[in-house]
Structure 1
Amino acid sequence: MTNIDNYHLIPLSIQPQGKEYLVGNADLDEFYQLPTEGVRVIECLKEGHSLDQIKKICLDEFNEDIDLESFVEFLLEAGFLYKSQADAESAIKAHTTQTAATDKRWVFRMSPKVASLFFSWPIVLLYCLALTSAVYLYITEPQVRINLSAFYITEHFTVFFLTLLFSFSVVSLLHEFGHMVAGSRLGLEPRLGIGNRLWTIVAECDLSGIYSQPKSKRYLPLMAGMLVDLFSISCIVIALYFLTSYGVEGTGIQILQALILQILITISWQFHFFLKTDVYYILSNYTDNPNLDQQARTYLNAWLSRLTFGRAGASLPTDTTGTQLKTMRIFSSVWLIGRIVSITFLILIIVPALAQYARDAWQAVTSGAQVDFWTKVDLVAFFIFSFLVFGGGMTLWLRGRFNFLKRNQNVANG
């Protein structure tokens, strides 16, 4: 039996999560779903009760003999329980130092007081005014409406591509800025890095510690990015109105129209919640399932084990509840179908389109005097930049898959 009389429990946040509780530590960024009994044991540890006293308390309150030894071992393995306060402080400091050394993402620091100013009534009023004005202009002014042909260009390919790429990068950073400011308002220290969603390169805001906040307070940081996207579209619509009113036209106007299309595509992409998009995290929060993605992978891994008669994959954990199993079945179906559709889109749409760009560039180069020199340079540069963006995303995606398979192989080999 583990003697815990002199053990030290680190500060833990305990937030209701459906019928269970989400328990963890923001500094370690470790959170676990625990039943009421587990939370009661933690409360008893905080109060300084011995193991025998906790057993008696749980027996009186829940009318059952709880396996406290196993639960204490779990707390020790999770890094929530230590032999002394000095050991706890040393472990957290070591974790923080290691994270700072290995995590190259940019840490965003803003005081909650300053961050709250971005959500004050004057700012909210400005946001609503911009959104309302954009809706009004969209209804009354045909020249600011969505141009579905904005991506189709016949000249200045490279300038168009690079300008749109730069503009969208700025909008993407504003999107992440929304997440980071909303997180800072709750006292979090978000991290910003570059990652990928399948083969698409994206900026990623890590709202570490958000599960230490009450469920209702998590929604704004999770939704803030899409709210900023709507504000960006509104500002572009207003800019289009003034520019076209003064007779401005040509490539600049088309770039702004294409930027609106790209932001709308990005917003729709957020609803591909089979990936870890904003909507995925909103849905996870709403359904009280912070690990939907991992649950889907676990369920599909179990099916792989069945189909291969245990040669691959792994069985479901023995403690999987009926509710968890139902969630796994539903989300794993969405997870699998979404990836099949995405890969089909990659094979049938994206790769052929890139190949067509390559053919156009090659034909321009080999056509002799039929195409002028700068048009050839334009087409070739356009293809090269397009390929680099696509290739960079594919590299991140395939490297992530390779590392995932390698980790699983190492686990399997012990």
Structure 2
Amino acid sequence: MDDVPILLHELTFVPEGEDEIVIGRADIDSFAVFPLDAAAVVRRLQGGHTVPEVSHWYLTTYGEPADIPDLVETLRELRFVRDPADEDHDAPDGRVPSGGPVRWQALGRALFSWPAWLLYAALVAGAVLLAAGTPQLRPSPGKVFFSSSLVVIELVVFAGQLLGVAWHEGFHVLAGRRLGLPSRLSIGRRLSFVVFETTLVGLMGVPRGKRVLPFCAGLVADALFAAGLVCAAALDRTAGGAVGPFGRVACGLAYLTLLRMAWQFLAYMETDLYYVVATVLRCPDLHRLAREQLRSRFWRAVGRPQRAPDSSGVTDRDLRLARRYAPVVVLGGALTLGLVLLGVVPVLLGFAARLAHALGTGRTDDPHLWDSAFAASAILAQLALLVGVTVRDRRRRARTAPTAA
């Protein structure tokens, strides 16, 4: 069987630095980093050469033998080797085969074209000028309380945030479709919350520079969403300068959108911007390596270096990058605390003050009492669900740990 050529799927070859190449199947999102000589072997196998022919070529070219059968086995594990009997079942449902048509690619290209960028810049600049010149339009924690009913605030914020997140993830998807990738948007749930999830299928199969925009597209979407809300609020101003009900809602949602944008800058939490940094630095495990470096420093500082993580398999370059990134992880905690104190706590305190005031009246004929009671019950139910699921998961891990060991 050695004389039979190895059948390979359509593969992508993308240079990753000076001495590595990312090879992968975009249709199933399977990628791996290979050294240049191994990538050259894969290319010859893909060209129809048999294993003995490639082995002879490698010995002649590099002056030493290579374990080509072992490399072929690795290709099988990555599902790069094509088996005609399994072709109909190889690609998961919903994924477009490599080279197949991609819907919405034209829309993605239009959405990130130069004319579109000019329109985006004009919209954001207009919103900034409006907010700078009109205090009533400036997003702030107090703008979240656009209604006297806490239940109305909760429902509107839930719907507005859901729409904003769908808009955010949709930009990620279209940025991938722009490159011809079968990226997709799905709706799932975490605990009792509905979430939108983007899968950028095949992103590792495009040049590194082209991966940045799909990661940043969500931030672009958030900036446009917030700017659009501020401009919409400006249209709802009265002759006296006051903002109407719709405008107040828009300003409140704009503030929450800006909070989401600020959260993306906490790169240590592996947000969209973290993947931009990891992509630019060519270190996909940057966060994990940085945390291991911090643990190593801690255990060495307390005199127990034997407990430090093993970094023997990590390149010197990645270790240098991890050491430089480690302070970002440390400072990230302080930045998170600052964001919570300055951006989230004022909203929570305002909510609690209104809640306490309404419940403190004790008048059952006061509609604000029942409104506040229902709003408080909804919040407590979510917290109880979160605690319950957390405890359940911990108990499950505790029960399965001895078995796994």
TM-score bracket for this pair, using the shorter chain length:
0.7 to 0.9
Partner of 1:237: 230
How far apart, in 1, do the equivalents of 2:55 and 2:296 lie?
Answer: 35
Deviation of residue 132 (structure 1)?
2.6
Partner of 1:323: 317
Partner of 2:251: 257
How far apart, in 2, do the equivalents of 1:251 and 1:227 lie?
Answer: 27
Q: Which amino acid is 2:263 matched to?
A: W
Partner of 2:206: 213
Deviation of residue 266 (structure 1)?
0.5
> 1:342-375: per-residue Cα shift (whole Å, max 9, x none)?
699999x989997997898688557533x74311
How far apart, in 2, do the equivalents of 1:94 and 1:64 lie?
Answer: 36
What TM-score, normalized to structure 1? Answer: 0.76
Contact 2:104 2:174 in 1 (8 A): no
Partner of 1:272: 266
Contact 1:305 1:314 in 2 (8 A): no
Distance 1:56 1:235, change over 3 A: same
Distance 1:396 1:287, change over 3 A: farther
Which region of structure 1 is more displaced relative to structure 2, 278-287 or 325-334?
325-334
Which region of structure 1 is more displaced relative to structure 2, 122-131 or 15-24?
122-131
Partner of 2:171: 178
Partner of 1:110: 103
Distance 1:142 1:341, change over 3 A: closer
Distance 1:231 1:397, change over 3 A: farther
Contact 1:137 1:241 in 2 (8 A): yes
Partner of 2:98: none
Deviation of residue 326 (structure 1)?
3.2
Is 1:8 paired with 2:7? yes
> 1:264-312: per-residue Cα shift (whole Å, max 9, x none)?
11011111222232112211221122344555577789999999x9999
Partner of 1:384: 377
Partner of 2:99: none
Is 1:287 paired with 2:281? yes
Q: Which amino acid is 2:39 matched to?
A: V
Q: Which runs of 5+ in 2 are unaligned?
A: 96-101
Partner of 1:86: 84
SS at match of 2:267: coil
How far apart, in 1, do the equivalents of 2:293 and 2:3 lie?
Answer: 36
Is 1:125 paired with 2:115? no
Is 1:96 paired with 2:92? yes
Q: Which amino acid is 2:177 matched to?
A: S
Deviation of residue 198 (structure 1)?
12
How far apart, in 2, do the equivalents of 1:258 and 1:412 lie?
Answer: 48
Q: Which amino acid is 1:14 matched to?
A: F
How far apart, in 2, do the equivalents of 1:390 and 1:64 lie?
Answer: 63
How far apart, in 1, do the equivalents of 2:27 and 2:198 lie?
Answer: 17
Is 1:28 paired with 2:28? yes
RMSD: 4.5
What TM-score, normalized to structure 2? Answer: 0.78
SS at match of 1:149: helix
Distance 1:160 1:277, change over 3 A: same
Partner of 2:137: 144
Q: Which amino acid is 1:165 matched to?
A: F
Distance 1:389 1:15, change over 3 A: farther
How far apart, in 1, do the equivalents of 2:27 and 2:299 lie?
Answer: 36
How far apart, in 2, do the equivalents of 1:9 and 1:339 lie?
Answer: 47
Question: How do 1:55-66 and structure 2 match up within 5 A?
Answer: 55-66=55-66
Distance 1:13 1:272, change over 3 A: same
Distance 1:293 1:206, change over 3 A: farther
How far apart, in 1, do the equivalents of 2:316 and 2:348 lie?
Answer: 46
Q: Which amino acid is 2:261 matched to?
A: I
Q: Which amino acid is 1:254 matched to?
A: R
Q: Which runs of 5+ in 1 are unaligned?
A: 101-108
Is 1:44 paired with 2:37? no
Which region of structure 1 is more displaced relative to structure 2, 169-178 or 390-399?
390-399
